[in-house]
Amino acid sequence: MNSASVLVIGGGIGGLTAAIALRQKGFAVDVIEKDPDWAVYGVGILQQANVVRAMAQLGLFEDYVGAGFGFDAVEIFAPTGQHMATIKSPRVIENYPPNIGIGRRALHKVLGDRTIAAGAKVRLGITAERLDDDGAGVTVTFSDGTTGRYDLVVGADGLYSKTRTQIFPDAPKPEFTGQAVWRYNFARPPEIVNLHNYVGQRGIGLAPLSQTLMYMFLTTPEPGNPRFERKGLAAAMQARLADPPPALAPLVTQITDDAEVVYKPLEWLFLEGAWHKGRVVLLGDAVHATTPHLGQGAGMAIEDSVVLADELARAASPEQAFLAYRERRFARCKFLVEASRSVCYSQLGTGPHVDHAQVTREMLALTAQPI
C-alpha cells in the first residue's frame, strides 16, 4: 500500500509526525491545517524517553534534542518549598536523555520544517467539509470549494476533532475535569536543570525548555469551568500564586504580560470503540486526549504516527492496518488517559488518593516497552 495517497487533517504534533512517518514509508501525503497562520502558543512541553525514541525512529533525534533541553531527574518540593526528593529518571536507551523539555514553537518548527522537506504538501486555512468514502477511496470536499480524492484520511485534528464527529457522530465528547493549568515563560536561571515539582492541591512546576528558557505551570481547581478574558490573565495567575514557596516569589512578580499567560481547562477523552471507519482513521487527541499529569499526551500522538505508518506499510488493506494500529495502541493509551485522570481527581479531592510518584513509575515502566 506504500504508493497510497493520504490526507492528514490537522497540522499539529500528531498530524505532522504522521505526515513525516508516512512520507518515510513512501506514501503521498497532503496535510490541511485550519489555522491560516499555523500558530502555536509559546509555552513548553515535557516528554520522556519513549518519545525521544519515537522521534529517533522518525529521523528527528538531533533536531528535536537540539531544540530542547535534556534532563535527568524530577526534584520534588513540599508546598512550603522544602526539598523532599530527587527522582532520577531511568535511561531507557543508552545515550538518549530520559526527559526533554521543549518549547511548543520550537517543536512545531522542527516538525513543520521536516514535513515540508519530506515532500508532504501543506495547505493552511483549509478544513475538510465532507468526507465521502465509497469503499475504493475518499472524496474530500474542502472548505475552499475544491475537492480531492485520497486512498486514506487521517484525522489528527485534536480534542475537538471534526473528523471524529463526521465518522462517529455519537462518540463521547471531551469531559472537563474541574482543574485547569496556567503557564508562563521565564528566562532560565542556571540552577534549573531538572523539572522542579511543588506538590499539593495547587501543583506548581518549573521546567527547563532550552539554554535560555524555562516555563512555569500551575494547576488549580476551577469549578464550573470559568472563561477568562485575556485582559487580566496575568493578575488572575498571580492571585492563584498568593503565598508562593519562597524560591518562587521573585518569579510570581514577573507574571505581568496578559498576552503571555496560557490558560487551559483540563479535559479528557478516550474512544473505547473503533478508531477508524472505512478509510478514515483517527490519531492523537482526536481519539485519546489525556490531562498532562504524566506528560504523555503528545508522546502518544507521536507514537501513534510511527505505529500507523508501520502498519499501513505492511498491511494488505486499510482495514487490516487500522485494526492492527488500534490493537498496538489501545492498552497503552487507555492506561495513560486513566492514570493521568486519576492523579488529577486525586489532586482535586474528587477521586481516591493516588500516589503520583508511584503512577509515574508505572507510566515509565509501561512506556519503556517497545511500541
Ligand X SMILES: Cc1cc2nc3c(=O)[nH]c(=O)nc-3n(C[C@H](O)[C@H](O)[C@H](O)COP(=O)(O)OP(=O)(O)OC[C@H]3O[C@@H](n4cnc5c(N)ncnc54)[C@H](O)[C@@H]3O)c2cc1C
Q: Closest CB to ligand X among 112 and 244?
A: 112
Q: Closest CB to ligand X among 90 and 250?
A: 90
- One-character DSSP codes across 24-86: HTT-EEEEEES-TT----SSEEEEEHHHHHHHHHTT-HHHHHHHSEEE-EEEEE-TTS-EEEE
Query: Is residue 155 a contact residue for ligand X (CB under 6 A)?
Result: no
Residue 156: closest CA among 8, 349, 5: 8
| Interface of this chain with ligand X, residues 296 to 325, rule: CB under 6 A | 296-299, 301
Quickly tell me which residue has 505508518 as its cell. Answer: 309
| Interface of this chain with ligand X, residues 175 to 194, rule: CB under 6 A | 181
Using the contact rule CB under 6 A, the part of the chain among 28-36, 54-62, 131-139, 220-228 near ligand X is 28-36
Q: How far is the CB of 82 from ligand X (least distance, A)?
A: 25
Query: Is residue 292 a contact residue for ligand X (CB under 6 A)?
Result: yes
Using the contact rule CB under 6 A, the part of the chain among 76-84, 169-177, 229-237, 282-290 near ligand X is 282-290
Q: How far is the CB of 83 from ligand X (least distance, A)?
A: 22
Using the contact rule CB under 6 A, the part of the chain among 40-48, 80-88, 90-98, 351-359 near ligand X is 40-48
Q: How far is the CB of 75 from ligand X (least distance, A)?
A: 17
Site string for ligand X, 106-135 (x = CB under 6 A): ---------------------x--------
Query: Is residue 9 a contact residue for ligand X (CB under 6 A)?
Result: yes
For the chain, percent helix, then strand, then coil, each to nearest 5? 35, 30, 35
Q: Closest CB to ligand X among 47 and 115?
A: 47
Cβ atoms 34, 55 nearer than 8 A: no
Using DSSP, state whether 11 is helix, strand or coil.
Answer: coil
Residue 52: closest CA among 95, 97, 17, 112: 97
DSSP conformational letter for 292: G
Between CA 296 and CA 10 the distance in angstroms is 19
Question: Which one of 63, 151, 222, 285 is in contact with ligand X (CB under 6 A)?
Answer: 285
Cα 290 to chain centroid, rounded: 8
Size of the site for ligand X (CB under 6 A): 31
Which residue number is nearest to ligand X in terms of Cβ?
12
Q: How far is the CB of 337 from ligand X (least distance, A)?
A: 10
Cβ atoms 219, 100 nearer than 8 A: no
Residues in a beta bridge with 128: 142
Question: Which one of 5, 24, 25, 34 is in contact with ligand X (CB under 6 A)?
Answer: 34
Query: Is residue 156 a contact residue for ligand X (CB under 6 A)?
Result: yes
| AA identity, residue 288 | H
Using the contact rule CB under 6 A, the part of the chain among 12-20, 56-64, 329-337, 346-354 near ligand X is 12-20
DSSP conformational letter for 284: G
Q: How far is the CB of 305 from ligand X (least distance, A)?
A: 9
Question: Which one of 1, 4, 8, 15 is in contact with ligand X (CB under 6 A)?
Answer: 15
C-alpha torsion sign, points 220, 339, 46, 42:
negative
Using DSSP, state whether 167 is helix, strand or coil.
Answer: helix
| AA identity, residue 230 | R
Cell, residue 115: 514535513
- Residue 283 backbone phi and psi in degrees, to 5: -150, 150
Q: Closest CB to ligand X among 27 and 215?
A: 215
Query: Is residue 10 a contact residue for ligand X (CB under 6 A)?
Result: yes
Question: Which one of 6, 7, 47, 100 is in contact with ligand X (CB under 6 A)?
Answer: 47
| Interface of this chain with ligand X, residues 225 to 264, rule: CB under 6 A | 264
Cell, residue 222: 476551577
Which residues of this chain interact with ligand X, rule CB under 6 A?
9-15, 32-35, 45-47, 127, 156-158, 162, 181, 264, 284-286, 292, 295-299, 301
